[in-house]
Chain A
């Protein structure tokens, strides 16, 4: 099975995004490197707006992720509520 990943800059906003990813993807593997964090998940990763909003305590537009994003892999699917990366189709 292939892994998908997302890498984010380490800052205050992404700390909350990372918490949300870990909550929604129990198989996530976290790899912390200087100034960045890389999260790998087997096959499919889902990033949910509601979970991030619980973490940041304010309304959150999923496209805000673009500001903190470093890289990703897998097929992207984006809606208001979910941002998913997957190899399965």
Chain B
């Protein structure tokens, strides 16, 4: 069997790539490819000649991509027929796929700015981005990277920007919601992949908000026009073209949008969790011993993917990054992740990807067939998991069963460092003070019994505070 036939047999289309009829992502082994129709191939050739592409691929703003001729796309699963693809692009693979409903405010804003920058660059070369969704951006560490090369198409000068509404719904409005109202945008994006419609968003704003930058035009007028224009029932696009619409109007709009987005900011006065490291006495006492223990585990191997769960401000993520190719730092607190994102950006740290994730309610499969956006656990198996000062929150505050939680750890990764915090610890006492049932199953004895049922314990360390113990474990 030739290498080409073997490649065809093992390839499959990405379940999240189906909306665009001219371009579709597929995987073969660890490779990431994009099948192109004849039309998309012509657009790729135009894009290849564009001056910005090479520079943005070199700086990582656009995923490195090349045309390949020895990787055939998958055939139709039922008929076995070739689907008539004209060409295949190969993309550099991403270390970890994340979604906008897991990003912090700064990440979504940087993704929106990248989108607008690329749109401006494309228009200058008579190209345009045919959609405007944040799912077209991924993060390598804290650096946004545009991945949907199939989105660049030829632009006719009289054609309006088709992606404008999608940009508003999935990027501008969620950012305004956070900046102007202080409401976390993630549940809104997770609740509806298409984002927040203008008519819905305008109702979330007060009259005072109408005076804020960009609201009157992009929200209020947008919502009003949407209803009226839709009632006309004729081609607005054709009417605009006949009325003299031209590319300079898009450029003017994009330029104003960029100013609006870059001035959106969000500042929380401080959450309990982002001050956790600074305030808690046991945390201060234990910090050195804990860093030493985690450091020893980290130094004992080379890790492809590490997860730091309940990462707080990323102290242990940074240690993991010494020997891990990529670290995903997750915390349920939005402001904590926002601070971490800003700090990592200032440090130039590119190996740590910060995400807003509540493990007790982690991102599920979403969209068409629940497979368009994958659950957290199906986006790469970590070979190292750090769960420091985490499980008492999940068991006592989120009411997860200790045994089931440890079973999740057993299935999720190849090696874990788990911290157990005793009931006598001030943090646990604080969590338990309003519990009437006492949460009796949360005990050192019960934890160790459940742990040893599932893991080999490689080493342990009782921390100086006297109420906390670290366990370095490997699944049985």
A and B bound? no
